[in-house]
Chains A and B, each alone.
Chain A
Amino acid sequence: GAGVSQSPSNKVTEKGKDVELRCDPISGHTALYWYRQSLGQGLEFLIYFQGNSAPDKSGLPSDRFSAERTGGSVSTLTIQRTQQEDSAVYLCASSLPGTSGGGRDTQYFGPGTRLTVL
């Protein structure tokens, strides 16, 4: 595709339910990131995938959050037993790996999924 796509664009769920958010990165991008943006707050890093390497999960706020990336492409962020404080916009980004490391690669963001937990 032309850019990073995410689905659904909006998700309303009840407290305690599980939700799955999907991200389709730009074709050929081996790096994929998930972020969370709460209302009026800055983006919060959640998890990072790079190729076949073990993902960097250092940003996941609790064990209710998990993410997978199948076949090095599509990624799914799963939130179990959702809480009201999980309400936010969840953004996905992808990039090519920087040849020199150090994260110089430009990230391309999707439009986000707005999650509302009632």
Chain B
Amino acid sequence: KNQVEQSPQSLIILEGKNCTLQCNYTVSPFSNLRWYKQDTGRGPVSLTIMTFSENTKSNGRYTATLDADTKQSSLHITASQLSDSASYICVVSARNYGQNFVFGPGTRLSVLP
């Protein structure tokens, strides 16, 4: 069964600190993996997209890694800001044709002053 798991479920950090969010998946055949940020009451916003051959990708203070062998990905946030408080969702695409995405449950990040 195609599944995406994320950990931790929720995380609280102080402003300025770094944090790392984890994503494990059993989706096959793998096409690509995306990280989204979803603010409360808003739609998700794409942060990164990685294919099988990419093992790291950065977007400002966000750096995503992918290990396709172990089927794990991480999202590292550097020098967190209050505006980083949101849910971070890992999404894996199972095939190249069509758009059958498998979404993780998300990690709820709270950044405190």
Contacts and interface: CB of A to CB of B under 8 A. Distances in A.
B32 interface: yes
A93 B99 CA distance: 12
A102 B44 contact: no
Contacts of B44: 43, 91, 93, 107, 109
A65 interface: no
B43 A111 contact: yes
Which bracket fits the contact residues of A?
20 to 34
Nearest to A40: B105
B103 A101 contact: no
Nearest to B52: A102
Contacts of A50: 99
Contacts of A64: none
Interface string A71-112: 000000000000000000001010000000111101111111
Given A4-B43, A106-B46, A111-B43, A56 B99 contact: yes
A39 to B, nearest CB: 11
Nearest to A92: B43
Interface stretch (B14-22, B66-74, B75-83, B89-97): B89-97
Q: State the 7 A-B residue pairs at the shortest beta-carbon distance, nearest first.
A: A109-B43, A42-B103, A56-B98, A43-B103, A48-B99, A42-B105, A102-B96
Interface of A: 4, 31, 33, 35, 40-45, 48, 50, 56, 58-59, 91, 93, 101-104, 106-112
